[in-house]
Structure 1
Amino acid sequence: MADVNCHKVLMKALDFDEAGDKEKAIEHYTMAVEMILSIEDKEKREKMNKFARQALDRAEELKGIKKNLSDGSPSKSLPIQQHKTTTSIVSPTINAPNKVTIPTHSPKLEITRDRGGYSMEEKKVLEKTSLINSRIYVPFLEVDAKERFNFPLPFTDKDGMLELAPKQKRDFHKWMRISEICEYPTIITGAYPDFQAIKQTVVSDCSFVSSLTVAALYEKKFNRRILTSIIYPRNSKDEPVYNPSGKYTVKLHVNGIARKVVIDDYLPVGRYNQLLCSFSNNKCEFWVSLLEKAYLKLMGGFDFPGSNSNIDAYALTGWIPERISIRKNDSDFNANAVFDRLKEGFHNGRCLITVATGELTDAECDRTGLVSTHAFAVINLAEVDGIKLLMLKNPWSHLRWKGNYSEKDSRWTPELQKILNYDPKIAQSIDNGIFWIDYHSLINFFDVFYLNWDPELFKYTYCTHKCWQSGVGPVKDAYTVGDNPQFSLSVPAGRGSVYVLLTRHITTIEDFRENNEYITLLVYHHKNGKRIYYPHDPAPYIDGIRINSPHYLCKIRLDPNQARKYTLVVSQYEKSTTIFYTLRAYCREPFELKSLDQHWLTNLQLTGEWSALNNTAGGCQNHKTYRFNPLYKIILANDGNLVVELRAPKVFQVGMELTIKELEDQSITAPFISKSTDSFRSGFCVLDLENLPAGTYYVRPATYLPNQEAPFFLKVKSNVKLQIEKEN
């Protein structure tokens, strides 16, 4: 019967097509494909596949989608039976500006930029890291909000059911649609989501649930939809609504851009009819469960090893993540300044805040009521008569702090209760996981604050997406960062800071389980925004902490009296793999940030040696034997830039001198007679010279002391053609 109905729908599609009604023709072709894909009988479905392909091809043609003819053949997609909806096959962004279509595994990936175009490198980076946990996640565009959500048959995600966590599998009974769980389901029952109703269950995603909590609280407090705005479909009031067809789209910020995550409404249910995922205590609403499902689909399934609230809240909101370590025994940690900054940001609606414990013993957990390595939502901050207090929410919605200012503590005076609008007796009657804790106790038992700042605080922004190949530069930044990705930052005089966010793209859940990639940003100001080669000579102005979180935030304060130029260096500890990353900068004042990528026309490497036997180990200029060191002649064909790098065993102090033999144009004045490296350094030195006139140059590498024997490498790079040969 299903195949008969499919034929009828196809006939209608052909009728509308012949009549020139494109919209209805596309609708019926699409409906036919979906009906074919929903046929349960495998044999019948396979017989109908050719009709599905024809319908899909014609629908694409009507929408204006062209085949990729670069290799003489149409672009390929996965076998048709793997798809459940045409929206998974064809991106609806046909007329988007600055669009580039990149053939991928499947579906067709549309990479667009709202303002200005992406470079080819950026397109490749965003396409490469769209494959996350073996699924393609296309960019989210505004037209996605208007895609089709209603179907003749209930929608089922083509990617199948998500992998369950071990604790879920233990109690699992079956997957149920939300219409089977609740007779009258909604997405949100009130005008705004209720942060107090959120409850985490058996999935280890406390940081995500805490992120939901602080974002939901923000929505209600500041009347601004930063969370519920990411759920589709929506009604005329721009509110997320229940979809009887069971299809939902969630907009999540991941790997450089906002991406589209499509889910169905199947949820895991236990043998006692209980939800085995996070949910809202308001039994008819499902925004918590759907957002969690979308996020965990992106992350590879419910069997999630956990992350942190910087990662989770950024994915939900796109707000700038910052990590503040609580270092109670560090004299540089200004606890009062941190609290004041948190309180001001929280009450002015500038940031979302969560806090996490470190490792706690079982005895400490029993005594304090806290949980080891657990995230809590910060839902209030206050200071009363010099006492600093924070109100936290455990995402479990039960189990509370037992120490100072807990609900049973004697410190609750009537005055304090009135000021904070808190009644300990009422709190004692129900454990909802919400409690007050004094700041001093928090510092003793918690490890880190996670903040996410509203990007709309900053008028000016910059963003680029880059790739750093594993073979470029040394494994460690011990002696040179010359091949590291670098950027020149120019900032005006003023108040405030430039926020620079480095985000490493993650494409597999294993990166969370066994994350050995440590990244950071180094900031230098002694080179006036020029390329840096020596990582610690002098030391960086800001030496970033290498962390294995995908986000690292660097804040550079503006000088109120003068404009400045900085060099930003991307650094990775023990680099072993290619990394893809996004660099974003935010400032209230106009600034300039540009890549210092160098594209060399000539890149040569020679090997040499200092040998006492061959009388080529002459030592530095302090010795008469200096002239016996190896000598190389470089001929620059045109005016250009020249970089000469010398590498040798680290036990030797090495240096170089470059002299001008003659210039091709005899009428110009030579810019110098000779240039040498500033000092002799362990195992590495470099000469980086700009705007050299065409001509003949000599370069002489040397060790500091004579008769030091060692091999060396000489790397010569230029943006013009050159010749190099050994003279002696």
Structure 2
Amino acid sequence: MYTKATQAELAKDFDNAYRLYIKAAELFLHLSGSTSDDTKSKWNSSARRSLERAEKLNAVLNKPSQNTGQSQSGYQLTPVAVDHFSVQEQAHVVRRGATVNGTTYLPWDDQNYNRPRSSHRIIQPALSALQKEMGALWQSIISDDLDSLDPHDTSVLPQHISQNIVTDCSLCASISVCLEHKRRYRSNLAESVLHPNTSQGGGIYDLKVLFNGTWRRVTIDNKLPYHPRLDAPLCLTCECDTPGKRPRRVVWPSLLEKGYMKLMGGYDFPGSNSSIDLHALIGWIPDHVNTRSSKREETWSRIYDGFHSGRCMVTLGTGVGPDIYWDGLKLLPSHCYAVIGVQEVDGIRTLTVLDSWVHSSDLRVLEMPWSDVLNTFDGLYLSWDPAMWHKMLIYHGKWKVENGQTSASRQIRVKVHNPNIRSNDQEIWVLLTRHVVDTRKSSEFIALNVQIEDDFAGRSVSCNTSGISNKGPYTNSPHFLTRLSIPPLQSSGTLSISALYDGSSSDVGFSLTVYAGVEIEVEWVNQNVLSAPFTETVSGSLTSKNSGGNSTHPTFMINPQYHLRIFPSAKNGAEKTKVVLTMKAIKDIPVQVMVVWSNAQRVFEPSEKEIVATSGRHSYGFARLVEKLSPGDYNVILSAFEPHHTGEYSLIIDSSLRFSISPIPQEGAGMFNKMIRGAWGVSNAMGAPSFHRYFDNPVYELGLKSQASVKVRLQLVQHSSNVAVNVTIYSASDSPSTDRHVATSGAYDDARSGVVTPQTNLSKGRWWIVPSTYNPGVQATFQLIVYSTAPIEVQPRPRKTTCESQRQSG
């Protein structure tokens, strides 16, 4: 392939040469990843040579002229379509993730690492402010403190880990739970992170960490920060108690801490949680569970079964509040605690909780009831063994944030086949990991939106989820986990995964990992598919005037609505088309897309029969709907979860058939309007005309100085299905009669959107508006919205006496 590329270049077939050089680089990288270590460097070198030649061609031929901005050579290379799943692109993303906090960390299997380095110098991690204040000095470990990394040494227990002055309680808890796992299951999780590096001389160690898409190498020496006078380490310590002997100092946990602190930018560690740390150290799957979740029984079962099968390790995190107590004991805020025991005896559930900060042995270990754990701590940090999954797909990608924007999304699709369609326990986990180049940045957020598209029905299907929601909210953690249950009787489908980013960076890498069980087949869908032939983007803003909240609010009717018309195919007029509607908003707004049947008029309260499809429950910053639609007219309704949620949005429509999309005006658009709030109480809630005191209900006088077209809407401020209402317009009169109305909303109704009169032409003069409930004695607040084509005046009519009202109603 490389030879063909050079031949094409010599023949001045530059387009073909450029394409062949890139293809050759992809093939060489593929060979590098599938051959032994002896030939890996050879193929990597060939790949670099191919890419360099392609880049040189691109630079020379596409170099712009300073005068014209056009190519100086007069030749413009045809861009090569990017295959984001190619070995080259995947490797490119991983290479970009090598630099963290300004330091490069090569992949673990990089052959260039072990070349001779005569001037090699180990860079120490930055000390924290407190370590500097105490005058910390770097001191080599003395021989008496050196211990072997014997995986069979079970004398080191979780209780031997002490945090000291570094703010890395999450790492201490991580090491502790690994030691407990070793005690129970004879594993070697924490110790396996640290490796002596004999090629760089004595006293050098490498940490093997999973970071930014691959296992990487962090190199340290055997020096630790010590107090200048007390000969005491100013870092994590581990001392083993041996009966009849002095405590034995074990240093590998201190070295592990040093290496991890180096990766994280220094001992001034800003804090983390153990599921993040354990993912980096041993590659276990991070799973954050909010203790306020309603699924307490399910959470206990997952933790109990996972802990006792050796597949799950657990830590706990307190909130930021200063006053956190349990059983009279004050707990530290924003602190991580290790769980070293999970018990259930005679229905009593308890966790054994270890605090690595407390040095008093009688207070380090707490036996806490499960209910107290949920009420005391803010978060459960679970780490799951990836070996529990039989299939795993990994994709490395990039978010590109456009100029002037702060967010980006990427769509990745996975084909799913489930032969055992009657099983209810088929789960798929999807883990999104943001690549971190600056560990001090906390303003970058990610989220996942995952749907399964039914291949036969041509629509997106909501998946049962547990743990973290599959639709937000955003998190500034580098990890976001979604757990999906495949719907029963769903034999095949396509996972549509939207990886979402919001932050200040313009180019951000990420890794997406899909885990599946033995009975489910998964594979990436070819991403180089043709886009929909018809697409359009409309933009708008949710404001205080058009953000009506979800469908439980009476103001749902004011949400933005669009008239979508699908035109029939020239070949088959009844052919359905696949339509994808994607709504994007700022990350703090939960949004939803709904499609309803319509006649191009605004829909006020869609019934279940009118709803064609929705994007599911409201999801933060992103909503997506896939549906096969017949040619015809539809309303697309965009909503936020609450009326006070406001902000800009965009709606992207993709269709295989031609369509048109246009905004539907608000009710009363172009008309004068006035809103009046009132209330029914004991003295003025007189019910329907059949109760004979109808005009003792609130009456509002409408004044018109010229003829106008008027309609009136009545709504309850707090909807109640037990309160049916009506609004009616009468001509102002000293002796009105209930059967002489000019316009009425019709039968009493309890609709959330309220009731409305038809638009009616009224002459110049005075008119009465009467809002009423069907039953007398109702106490409720209401609002009237009066629309008119001419200026109006609306004010409460003075109350009449009871005798006068009776005569008028008579």
Instruction: Return the TM-score normalized by structure 1.
Output: 0.61
Q: 2:353 aligns with which of 373, 386, 392?
A: 392
Distance 1:432 1:264, change over 3 A: farther
Native 8 Å contact 2:453 2:460 kept in 1: no
Native 8 Å contact 2:145 2:251 kept in 1: no
- Over the aligned positions, Cα root-mean-square deviation in angstroms equals 4.2
**What is aligned with 2:256?**
291
Alignment of 1:223-372 (within 5 A): 223-233=186-196, 245-271=202-228, 272-282=230-240, 283-327=248-292, 333-362=294-323, 364=325, 367-372=328-333
Q: 1:195 aligns with which of 158, 164, 168?
A: 158
**What is aligned with 1:445?**
376
**What is aligned with 1:654?**
562
Alignment of 1:85-234 (within 5 A): 95-96=39-40, 100=44, 119-141=87-109, 158-179=121-142, 182=144, 185-187=147-149, 191-192=153-154, 193-233=156-196
Distance 1:378 1:458, change over 3 A: same
Native 8 Å contact 1:397 1:431 kept in 2: no
Alignment of 1:422-571 (within 5 A): 430-431=361-362, 433-471=364-402, 475=406, 484-492=410-418, 493=421, 494=423, 495-511=425-441, 515-525=442-452, 528=455, 542-565=470-493, 566-571=495-500
Distance 1:98 1:308, change over 3 A: farther
User: Which SS does the other structure have where 1:543 is aligned?
Assistant: coil
Distance 1:452 1:680, change over 3 A: closer
Look up the equivalent residue of 2:388 and give its one-letter code: L
Distance 1:660 1:562, change over 3 A: closer
Look up the equivalent residue of 1:556 and give its one-letter code: L
User: Which SS does the other structure have where 1:467 is aligned?
Assistant: strand
Question: How far apart in 2 are the matches of 1:454 and 1:207?
Answer: 18
Distance 1:210 1:561, change over 3 A: same
CA positional deviation for 1:441: 2.1
Identity among equivalent pairs (%): 26
Native 8 Å contact 1:304 1:509 kept in 2: no
CA positional deviation for 1:298: 0.7
Tell me: higher relative CO, structure 1 or 2? Use CA pairs within 8 A at least 6 residues apart. Answer: 1
Native 8 Å contact 1:365 1:372 kept in 2: no
Distance 1:649 1:233, change over 3 A: closer
Native 8 Å contact 2:286 2:383 kept in 1: yes
User: Which SS does the other structure have where 1:583 is aligned?
Assistant: strand
Look up the equivalent residue of 1:579 and give its one-letter code: V
Look up the equivalent residue of 2:40 and give its one-letter code: A
Question: How far apart in 1 are the matches of 2:324 and 2:513?
Answer: 43
Question: How far apart in 1 are the matches of 2:508 and 2:196?
Answer: 35
Alignment of 1:674-693 (within 5 A): 675=631, 678-681=634-637, 686-690=652-656
Native 8 Å contact 1:157 1:262 kept in 2: no
Q: Which has the larger radius of gyration?
A: 2
Distance 1:136 1:244, change over 3 A: closer
CA positional deviation for 1:563: 2.1
User: Which SS does the other structure have where 2:375 is aligned?
Assistant: helix
Look up the equivalent residue of 1:502 and give its one-letter code: L
**What is aligned with 2:334?**
373
Q: Unmatched 5+ residue regions in structure 1?
A: 1-69, 71-91, 105-115, 235-240, 400-429, 478-482, 601-639, 693-697, 710-728
Question: How far apart in 2 are the matches of 1:684 and 1:534?
Answer: 23
Deviations 1:512-564 (A, max 9, x none): xxx122211112245649999999xxxx9942332111111100113343324
Deviations 1:346-371 (A, max 9, x none): 11111111111113425748941421
Distance 1:563 1:144, change over 3 A: farther
Distance 1:246 1:97, change over 3 A: closer
Question: How far apart in 1 are the matches of 2:453 and 2:317?
Answer: 38
CA positional deviation for 1:340: 2.6
Distance 1:472 1:287, change over 3 A: same
Deviations 1:215-245 (A, max 9, x none): 12212321222222222139xxxxxx99981
CA positional deviation for 1:172: 2.7
Question: How far apart in 2 are the matches of 1:356 and 1:527?
Answer: 39
Native 8 Å contact 1:380 1:392 kept in 2: yes
**What is aligned with 2:522?**
592
Q: Which moved further from structure 2: 518-527 or 377-386?
A: 518-527
Distance 1:290 1:269, change over 3 A: same
Look up the equivalent residue of 2:416 and give its one-letter code: S
Deviations 1:106-138 (A, max 9, x none): xxxxxxxxxx99533222211111101111111
Instruction: Return the TM-score normalized by structure 2.
Output: 0.55
The structure with the largest helix share of the pair is 1
Distance 1:677 1:653, change over 3 A: same
**What is aligned with 1:27?**
none
Native 8 Å contact 2:451 2:461 kept in 1: no
Look up the equivalent residue of 2:513 and give its one-letter code: R
Look up the equivalent residue of 1:519 and give its one-letter code: I
Question: How far apart in 1 are the matches of 2:333 and 2:407?
Answer: 34
Question: How far apart in 1 are the matches of 2:324 and 2:573?
Answer: 78
Question: How far apart in 2 are the matches of 1:575 and 1:491?
Answer: 38
Q: Which moved further from structure 2: 312-321 or 95-104?
A: 95-104
User: Which SS does the other structure have where 2:142 is aligned?
Assistant: helix
Distance 1:671 1:348, change over 3 A: closer
Question: How far apart in 1 are the matches of 2:576 and 2:315?
Answer: 58
CA positional deviation for 1:685: 5.3
CA positional deviation for 1:280: 1.3
The structure with the largest strand share of the pair is 2
Native 8 Å contact 1:654 1:704 kept in 2: yes
Question: How far apart in 1 are the matches of 2:456 and 2:336?
Answer: 40
CA positional deviation for 1:680: 4.0
CA positional deviation for 1:164: 0.5
Distance 1:579 1:528, change over 3 A: farther
Question: How far apart in 1 are the matches of 2:199 and 2:507?
Answer: 42
| Count of equivalent residues | 503
Question: How far apart in 2 are the matches of 1:672 and 1:562?
Answer: 22
Look up the equivalent residue of 2:257 and give its one-letter code: E
CA positional deviation for 1:435: 2.5
Question: How far apart in 1 are the matches of 2:385 and 2:352?
Answer: 21
Native 8 Å contact 1:252 1:316 kept in 2: yes
Asked if residue 580 in structure 1 is aligned to residue 478 in structure 2, the reply is no
Alignment of 1:663-702 (within 5 A): 675=631, 678-681=634-637, 686-690=652-656, 700-702=660-662
Deviations 1:613-637 (A, max 9, x none): xxxxxxxxxxxxxxxxxxxxxxxxx
User: Which SS does the other structure have where 1:172 is aligned?
Assistant: coil
**What is aligned with 1:704?**
664
Look up the equivalent residue of 2:158 and give its one-letter code: F
User: Which SS does the other structure have where 2:635 is aligned?
Assistant: coil
Question: How far apart in 1 are the matches of 2:314 and 2:352?
Answer: 11
